[in-house]
Structure 1
């Protein structure tokens, strides 16, 4: 041990810098650009790895950031099997946590003993056994492996690394910044047009059929599609408007209202009619959770106004975004809605004999790369229909039961167990946002896509562990009088 320590102490870091400069000069002279890039990046990468090993929390924040911009980055950087990048990062983060703990760092392992983690393990076991589904394709299961472990791993990482109320505040504030960036990109698309790579993606992927419509262009910002973008903006609208009523900082209050209003405008830019249910559903849940008569009355009036405006008036019909959103309140007149219902009826006749589904990854057009069959020829157009086709009615019921458990259990905590007002506001905001996006998932197949899936898992963990965060604040309050008397 002494010998190793002595060698480390005698090591001259300048020699490493010299070696790096020599390699960089050689790479530039020989025009070996990959080697040059590696030499330039390596010091920063080494510094980052050391930082995460010393404090895994920063690794989680990196994961949260990368998750939000992942799809947007891939539109400009062509990477094969890109989902492996996120898998590798999650494994690196898990290894960092265990190494940090082995070196004496404090990890609150007891927080992993929570209801949501056990529930996620039930889902993991169910998805694992889908490998033995007679109609399953192993390659499809491997390709969509995120449905197997993402839920469990995100709950575990959130439980261990985001264990303070300040962590919830940081995540929500960081998400507000990301929302503004996403809105800015949508505004650029709206007023300056799509760039060459975005236009190429629209044509190459066939997405122009669902985004360049005669009724108007649907903008998608940095997201996978307009449906994903619109639903996330709807969630941001709900979360930040609710938060603005509970934060004590006046500047932050107005900032969150600004973010909420911009997100609402971005929702309309997306042209995603199904995303309209996010703010409406979130507002309805807010009314149910709140014991403040003023908030209940205000929320009910706002909900009624929105419904009457879109369902029973023609005001601002000259605006194509509003005109398109208005059709969401009259689905019986919408041809695409009628086609979806017809497709669901055809699938129902086929799925009646498949209680455990067709197999993971074998739903909708995405499944054609693995196998051409009845379920891959019919668009699912809905997260829940996709789950039903892949995992069967048993898997669908389990999935919905998990989502409803989180909403109901967190509602109970919010209404009867959480004492801190600011924490209660954050939990209400996340509960309402999650409820709205769950409703929107019926009309759009985005729930497990980046960045929605990770955000949902993180919010679910915050909600189920709400009481532990409240206990932390209670302990701090008890200690403050003792500190003041010293």
Structure 2
């Protein structure tokens, strides 16, 4: 009996705690700071891995959080090839799912068998074949590898781990919190100023040329640039205003409206004129999807008011943000717009004989590190122009076809197949937000940057699987006692 007790004590948590504290004290006394940090971190890391192995859903929430704050953190921590961190975490999460399933955990593998997965595999195949593009470079392809697998992997992860309507609600609520954090940061930039890390980034990256303008400062919060930030705030304003119409809980309705209104203000602080199309396009799509006359009339009036205010009046023109936004409605007078059109014309003359593009990762000035050529000396200034240059007109048509399929197919589900009102509201919100951000991608090259790319893939998966979520609610209703 005594031996059994001794063995139990040997492997108790207290034993490992004593060992850990002993190692920590030893490393601190030896001033081995790196080893001391490892002694502190490793137990927490082991606990986290154990937790995710038992509940992979928490791993997805971690990935979602990392995605949103990834660029903001890298502004203060210099890590080479930082995107590898996200790649490693995705494959770690996939491994946890397989191990969880092997140990008897319930994973709804059938949900991965959906239309969007097969569409993503078509895109993956096309990107893989770009390796054989005569003008392409393997090095540039490798550095732009996320174009190859992110779409497919995010569809799989979302399908398997976010399989309940409650999961959609959780993601949208979490995104609203992250949006408020981003808004809080941009208010600090606006009313207190940029911190040391942001000032260094503006100078070293050369971003001061596009953000510190004579017409006013363009604020970027924790995002890669003001264009990415403004478009995301536009999407948030659309999503949360629409959600507020469909959420049954009164307190949550007011909270979502609060988020939406502040997101609109943050959009204006970004100074991104192209982002104005996000709430306008989203509102237009809302009018199409909604069969409620009251919402259609209200939405139509809002669209007309916004257009008249910006295009045909000078009200509040003393405000630099509003003055800059107003120029989006008169592009023919905007010098930067005319330069973009001229660049696109030059690219069109070059690309006429390249139906499959110049090659993955060989568009825009940021890719001169791979090769100095015609396509890397002209700024693309647009996601769709960037896709066109890299993948050719064939790749561009495929990319646009995929985006339009998701929008049109989900619109069909929303209008004719989804019966639950609250779920319909969530799907309408994501459809309208996606449509708006797609339109904005024509004027800004941000669509596949963090955090936008992951958000797009997750929302697309929710939309395409909308009917399965509706069936879950119908089944629950039938099981509830009368």
Match of 1:258 in 2: 258
Secondary structure in 2 matching 1:316: coil
Match of 1:44 in 2: 44
Q: Deviation string for 1:206-229 (max 9, x for gaps)? A: 000000000000000000000000
Query: Distance between the aligned counterparts of 2:10 and 2:184, measured in 1?
Result: 51
Query: Distance between the aligned counterparts of 2:109 and 2:326, measured in 1?
Result: 49
Match of 1:84 in 2: 84
Matches within 5 A, 1:1-400: 11-400=11-400
- Distance change in 2, residues 1:9/1:389 (3 Å): farther
Q: Deviation string for 1:50-74 (max 9, x for gaps)? A: 1100000000000000000000000
Match of 1:406 in 2: 406
Match of 1:4 in 2: none
Unpaired runs of at least 5, structure 2: 1-6
Query: Distance between the aligned counterparts of 1:36 and 1:426, measured in 2?
Result: 47
Q: Deviation string for 1:332-365 (max 9, x for gaps)? A: 0000000000000000000011111111100001
Match of 1:429 in 2: 429
Match of 1:3 in 2: none
Does the 8 Å contact 2:237/2:264 carry over to 1? yes
Does the 8 Å contact 2:418/2:424 carry over to 1? yes
Query: Distance between the aligned counterparts of 1:402 and 1:9, measured in 2?
Result: 60
Query: Distance between the aligned counterparts of 1:178 and 1:109, measured in 2?
Result: 30
Shift in Å at residue 117 of structure 1? 0.4
Query: Distance between the aligned counterparts of 1:297 and 1:102, measured in 2?
Result: 54
Query: Distance between the aligned counterparts of 1:347 and 1:21, measured in 2?
Result: 63
Shift in Å at residue 166 of structure 1? 0.1
Shift in Å at residue 22 of structure 1? 2.2
Query: Distance between the aligned counterparts of 2:20 and 2:286, measured in 1?
Result: 57
Q: Deviation string for 1:18-72 (max 9, x for gaps)? A: 2222221222122222111111111111111111000000000000000000000
Secondary structure in 1 matching 2:219: coil
Shift in Å at residue 10 of structure 1? 6.5
Q: Deviation string for 1:350-401 (max 9, x for gaps)? A: 0011111111100001210100000000000000000000011100000000
Q: Deviation string for 1:93-116 (max 9, x for gaps)? A: 000000000000000000011000
Q: Deviation string for 1:193-247 (max 9, x for gaps)? A: 0001100100000000000000000000000000000000000000000000000
- Distance change in 2, residues 1:294/1:8 (3 Å): farther
Q: Deviation string for 1:285-330 (max 9, x for gaps)? A: 0000000000000000000000000000000000000000000000
Query: Distance between the aligned counterparts of 1:361 and 1:27, measured in 2?
Result: 45
Q: Tell me whether 24-33 or 455-464 shows the greater mean CA deviation.
A: 24-33
Does the 8 Å contact 2:9/2:15 carry over to 1? no
Query: Distance between the aligned counterparts of 1:390 and 1:8, measured in 2?
Result: 62
Match of 2:455 in 1: 455
Secondary structure in 2 matching 1:470: helix
Query: Distance between the aligned counterparts of 1:197 and 1:160, measured in 2?
Result: 38
Query: Distance between the aligned counterparts of 1:134 and 1:411, measured in 2?
Result: 40
Query: Distance between the aligned counterparts of 1:385 and 1:158, measured in 2?
Result: 29
Match of 2:4 in 1: none
Q: Deviation string for 1:241-295 (max 9, x for gaps)? A: 0000000000000000000000000000000000000000000000000000000
Query: Distance between the aligned counterparts of 1:33 and 1:74, measured in 2?
Result: 23
Shift in Å at residue 479 of structure 1? 0.4
Query: Distance between the aligned counterparts of 1:69 and 1:269, measured in 2?
Result: 19
Secondary structure in 1 matching 2:480: helix
Backbone CA RMSD of aligned residues: 1.2
- Distance change in 2, residues 1:435/1:8 (3 Å): farther
Query: Distance between the aligned counterparts of 2:476 and 2:232, measured in 1?
Result: 34
Shift in Å at residue 16 of structure 1? 2.3
